Amino acid sequence: MDMKDKTVNEKFIRTIVKKHGTPLFVIFLNNLKERAQNFRKLLPRVMPFYAVKANPSTPILKYLAKEGFGFDVASRNEIETVLKLGGKPEKMIFANTIKTQEALKISQKNGIDLMTFDSEYELAKIAKYYPGARVLVRIKVPNVGSVVELSLKFGVEPADAVSLLIKAIKLGLKPAGVSFHVGSQCTEIANFTEALELSSIIFKDALLKKIHLEILDIGGGFPITHFDSETDQFPAMAEKISSELDRLFDTNTTVIAEPGRYLAGPVCTLITRVIGKSIRNNKHWYYLDDGVYGCLSGIVYDHCKYQFRVFRRGQTQISTLAGPTCDSFDVISFSEELPELEFGDIVYVENIGAYSIATATHFNSIPPAKTIVVS
C-alpha cells in the first residue's frame, strides 16, 4: 500500500479498517527512512546496529539491511532471521550477555564473531564454543531516570573490566572494546556522559596493560515521545554525546550503538475498535479488540504509557480501556479522558512500534494485530 501523505488521519484509518478490519498494526516505511537518516545525521560518528528485539517485523529488518545498517541480535532465531533478510555477519553484534551454546555455534558457523560478556562464566562459555571470538566487556553504568533500568541485570563493575579483558586473552579470545547501556527510554544525558567517562578510563587502563581496544558500544536507550505535550530530547542528547566522544576517544576508535526504540517506535500505529461497553463503579468501561496480551504488551513489559486517540467528539469523562481477553489483568488504562464511545468506534495509538508486537502473545488464542505496511 502506498501513501504519499504520511500523516495518520481519519480518512486513511477508516479506509484501511474498512478493507482489513481491526486490530491493525501499521508500519510506515517512509517514517522509518526519516528516523534512520536522522540518527545518522545527529550522531555522524556512530555506526547504528538496530536492536532487533525492539521490533523484528520483516519490513523493518529488510529495509535496514538494504540501507547497510548493522544489527544487535540476542538469540539464535534473531541471527537466522537477520541473515535470511539480508543482514551481513560483519555488521552484527551478539549483544546478549547470556548466550546459549547453540547460538554461539550458529554465530561461529556464520562468522558473527563480535559479542558482549559481563562475567567470567560467559567468557569460559564463549571460549569453549567460539574460540577466538572478539569480545566487548559490558560495564554497569548509571540508569537514573530510565524507564527500564538494565544495569539491575547486566554489566560488570567498571573496576573489574580490565581484569576480565586480561582473562579473555588467557582464554584465547580477542578483547575488542567496551559496551554499556544507560537504560531503556533514557531521559538523563548525565547517564551517557558518565558512562562515556568510565569507558574512556577503561580504554586508557587497558592500553597500560598492552591491550589495545578498538570498539566502543554505547548501547541504546535513546528516547522518543509518546504524547503531544512531550519534547523530543534526542537532538540535544545526540549533540552532547558527539561532543563527549570527540573529547574522550581518538578518531581510530570505532563507535557503534544499538538503537531500537528510536528507530522503530515512532514508525508504527496500532488501530483498534470498541467491541464491548459497560458501566462499572459509575465509570464507563470500553473493551477493545487488542490489549496488554497483544500489541499493548509494552504497558507491562516496557512500562510504557501511550496516548489514545479517537475520532468521536463530545464531552469527555474519565473512562477505562480494557482488552479483549478473559483475564482481569488485561486492563489498558483506568484514567483516559474520552467522550462516550459506541460499538465499532476506533481507538488508535501512535508511536507504538517498539516492544509491542515484539512481545505480543496468543493468549485466549487471540492472534496479534494484523500488520499492514505503508511505503
Instruction: List active site positions.
Output: 326
Helix%, strand%, coil% for the chain, nearest 5:
35, 25, 40
Instruction: Round to whole Å and give the CA distance between 361 and 287.
Output: 18
C-alpha cell at 340: 462516550
Asked if residues 337 and 263 have their Cβ atoms less than 8 Å apart, the reply is no
Instruction: Round to whole Å and give the CA distance between 306 and 185.
Output: 14
Nearest-5° angle of CA 329, CA 330, CA 331?
A: 95
First-to-last alpha carbon distance for the chain, in angstroms, is 6
Instruction: Round to whole Å and give the CA distance between 181 and 204.
Output: 20
Please state whether beta strands 370-374 and 24-28 pair in parallel, antiparallel, or not at all (unpaired): parallel
Instruction: Round to whole Å and give the CA distance between 219 and 37.
Output: 18
DSSP strands (E only) in 33-88: 46-51, 70-73
Asked if residues 164 and 121 have their Cβ atoms less than 8 Å apart, the reply is no
Instruction: Round to whole Å and give the CA distance between 101 and 127.
Output: 11
C-alpha cell at 339: 467522550
Helix (H) or strand (E) holding 82: helix 76-84
> Hey, what amino acid is at 226?
H
